[in-house]
Structure 1
Amino acid sequence: MNNILIIYCHPYQKSLNHAVLESIEHNLMQKKIPYKIIDLYQDNFQPFYDLEELRLFHTGGTHDPLVAQYLELLKNAQGIIFVTPIWWNSIPGMLKGFIDKVMKEGEGLSHTVSKYGIHGCLTNLSHAYVLTTSTSPTFYFRLFMGNGIKKIFISKTLKQLGIKRGTWINFGNVTNSTYNKREEYLKRIKNYPFQF
């Protein structure tokens, strides 16, 4: 159980997000760290409940083979890296649907629920890195738009699932960024000291 799981959430292969994904792969390969990628768009993941999936929710069951496959990968990874844009101050619907649909309640699944709240079972994931891109500058997102990635996604949602440590890295102001700035950022990611 020493591999890293990358959750990639962007539909366009020529996006900056895809270049970030490639930079992470380069980083992990250079360090000989095994990894697996979940590419939500390429997998054609359906990020919503149908009636049958909802009926199975409280049993921890699923009729979507991707959900079972993803959950198994989550339970057998040491760390996790999310690569996603920020859309409307939060994670995209596709990634939110991944959390909604894949995180199953039950012993040996992602979490259990008691009268005292949610107990996360994904404690095998020692660290979550959330690499994002945003139209807004990072300082604006942090100070004026609620800092939702850090305060909600990392510090609440991922923590509830049992992931105690989380790091957010954002490339802000994408629309007005220069080629050189993007290349500098990708070089930083290629050499980033990920710790799991």
Structure 2
Amino acid sequence: MSNGIVIIYCHPYQKSFTHAVLESVQENLSNHNTPYKTINLYQDKFEPIYDLEELRIFSTGGTHDPLVEKYLNLLKSADSVIFITPIWWNDLPGMLKGFINKVMKEGDGLSHTVTKYGIKGGLTNIKHAYVLTSSTSPTFYFKIFMGNGIQKIFINQTLKQIGIKKRTWINFGRISNSTKLRRQKYLSRIRAYQFKAN
């Protein structure tokens, strides 16, 4: 059974702009009668680091963290995924990186397998990934002068490696110096955006 769209939300503060983006996405999907599930990493108190036991059973594709199993099952039955996260120090927050590290399990029927030719993605059921971020730096500065790590590594490599072919990145730059009007216009754009569930 499909979960439609799975939202992966990464921010601890409910009054943040990132949380406003989450609410706008949820409103959008509800208005379009698109089924969705939300993974709220901070609210779930997800533990983003490996402990010794989790690392010991890593090579088996197993886990002793019930959230890891829950999250991976959601992704295995999703049509699309929407990441909602800030960019901190030119990279993903540690919480979201830990989500990728722990949830993306190697093995048949999991997120990927490793072959002699490289990584073969297992989450091919996810037809489209949307990555909604905000950054202190202007988007052009982040892309041209700061290495463009989100696009080059997370989107073009990591998401591709787990089997997601279509990937869209939308960044709201200059968040610290943004006006209320500009933020409102962006949220209106997100509420009207066509997120495809397949």
Q: Does 1:151 align with 2:152?
A: yes
Q: Does 1:112 align with 2:119?
A: no
Partner of 1:72: 73
2:150 partner letter: I
Contact 2:68 2:102 (C-alpha < 8 Å) held by counterparts: yes
Contact 2:24 2:187 (C-alpha < 8 Å) held by counterparts: yes
Task: Give the aligned length.
Answer: 196
Q: Deviations over 1:91-128 (max 9, x none)?
A: 10000000000000110000001111110000000000
SS in 1 for 2:156: helix
CA apart distance, 1:193:
1.4
SS in 1 for 2:57: helix
Partner of 1:57: 58
Q: Stretches of 4+ moved more than 6 A in 1?
A: none
CA apart distance, 1:2:
5.2
Q: TM-score of the superposition, structure 1-length normalised?
A: 0.99
- Counterpart CA distance in 2 for 1:43 and 1:14 is 18
Q: Deviations over 1:131-180 (max 9, x none)?
A: 00000011100111111111111110000000011000000000000000
CA RMSD of aligned residues (A): 0.7
SS in 1 for 2:136: coil
Mapping for residues 136-175 of structure 1, pairs under 5 Å: 136-175=137-176
Partner of 1:46: 47
Gaps of 5+ in 1: none
SS in 2 for 1:77: coil
Partner of 1:3: 4
Partner of 1:188: 189
Gaps of 5+ in 2: none
- Counterpart CA distance in 1 for 2:25 and 2:114 is 34
Percent of pairs identical after alignment?
Answer: 69
